[in-house]
Amino acid sequence: MTQILTAADYRDPARRLVEPGVWDFIEGGAEDERTVAANLRAFDRVRLRPRVLAGVSEVDTAVSLFGREYTTPIGVAPVAYQRLIDADGEVATAKGAGAAGALFVVAMFASRTIEDIAAASSSGLWLQLYWLRRRDVLQSMAERAEAAGYDAIVLTVDVPRMGRRWRDMRNGFTIGGDVAAVNIEAGVMAAAHERDEGSSAVARHTAATFDPGLAWSDLAWLRGRTRLPLVLKGILTAEDAALAVAHGADAIVVSNHGGRQLDGAVASLDALAEVVDAVGGAIPVLLDGGVRRGADALAALALGARMVLLGRPPLWGLAAEGAEGVAGVLRCATDELAHAMALAGRASLADLDRTVVRNQPTGGEA
């Protein structure tokens, strides 16, 4: 393998090891993938403002959320069916995140049981849920997460219907082999395993099982069935951020689903300041979408994020080197963050504010 210096160094080895249709499922986005590209361009436009003679001899990247301290503010976003790329799947990811002292948000459609994932973890875990028509499934998952020691429930709110992911449609992508969403009864997941050329089985499953009528008033039902904090993932506007606070959310993840939902949606980073201002410090704000290096994390943290989550890069590490690869991705990004913080003259995350960055939009893009 090429010498590993950055998280991106895991990408090419991973691509050689992952089946092409699965690779498209991981890397692809909605339609023309404009928002996938916009997430990356948003960070490219940011310019950092170094400070000198700041006396920063040591840097502390620790952060606390919901009573748990993490070594790094760079965590792992929820991605389903990780056994498609590694035999140990989410168990390996949990081990890698734990070794790096990072948060791991476990997907509802994980291919290992949430209990096995918890047993493998030495750091914090949150459980991500989609709002299914079957509310008994939601309740069961929330109860199991609480019993297994998870620290929060993350409700993904930006999928009333699945984005049109043309790569998956052209590939007739189907969850195959012995990989399955093992935490949910097989009947609920059946459509994800039924191949139909020219369409995505995952999209058909979403249409059949997700409740598109989810509204703000429904959140009270879930709040009444778990003592865990409730995090809403998929917020991109000040209006929805204010409503999240008003309806009792305990945190927000600014996210466009990695560019996999509405193609042409605003980049996560470009939405961050608006959401942070709307929240006004009432609850923590996290971000995912386009973070590829420590300097990206620095920009998001300076603009008000408490933590950033990586989606695709940990999967590159998982495919290339299993748990060690996941840990390697997170350590590379955290080392880069600490380096950038030192050169910006900031010794801890508490020292970060918007004076760290200066945005330089190009091409008239907002």
Among residues 193, 205, 247, 257, the one annotated as catalytic is 257
Q: What DSSP assignment string belongs to 296-318?
A: HHHHHHHTT-SEEEESHHHHHHH
The dihedral through the CA atoms of 76, 247, 303, 69 has a sign that is: negative
What does the alpha-carbon distance between residue 73 and residue 293 come to, in Å, rounded to a whole number? Answer: 12
Classify 235 as helix, strand or coil.
strand
Residues 6+ apart with CB under 8 A from 345: 50, 51, 52, 54, 56
What does the alpha-carbon distance between residue 77 and residue 293 come to, in Å, rounded to a whole number? Answer: 15
What does the alpha-carbon distance between residue 321 and residue 326 come to, in Å, rounded to a whole number? Answer: 8
Note whether 96 and 317 are within 8 A (CB).
yes
Alpha helix (H) ranges present in the chain?
Answer: 11-17, 20-27, 34-45, 90-99, 114-120, 135-148, 166-171, 186-189, 201-209, 219-223, 238-246, 268-279, 294-302, 312-343
* Alpha carbon distances (Å) from 280 to 110, 234, 285, 318, 351: 34, 18, 10, 37, 18
* Residue pointed to by tokens 């997941």: 189
Task: Say what the alpha-carbon torsion angle 193, 198, 202, 203 is, to the nearest 10 degrees.
Answer: -140
What does the alpha-carbon distance between residue 75 and residue 154 come to, in Å, rounded to a whole number? Answer: 14
Amino acid at 97: A
Q: Which of these, 233, 316, 245, 285, lies nearest to 16 by C-alpha position?
A: 316
Whether 247 is catalytic is no
SS3 letters across 261-279: CCCCCCCHHHHHHHHHHHH
Q: Which of these, 304, 344, 361, lies nearest to 56 by C-alpha position?
A: 344
Where in the sequence numbering do the catalytic residues fall? 257
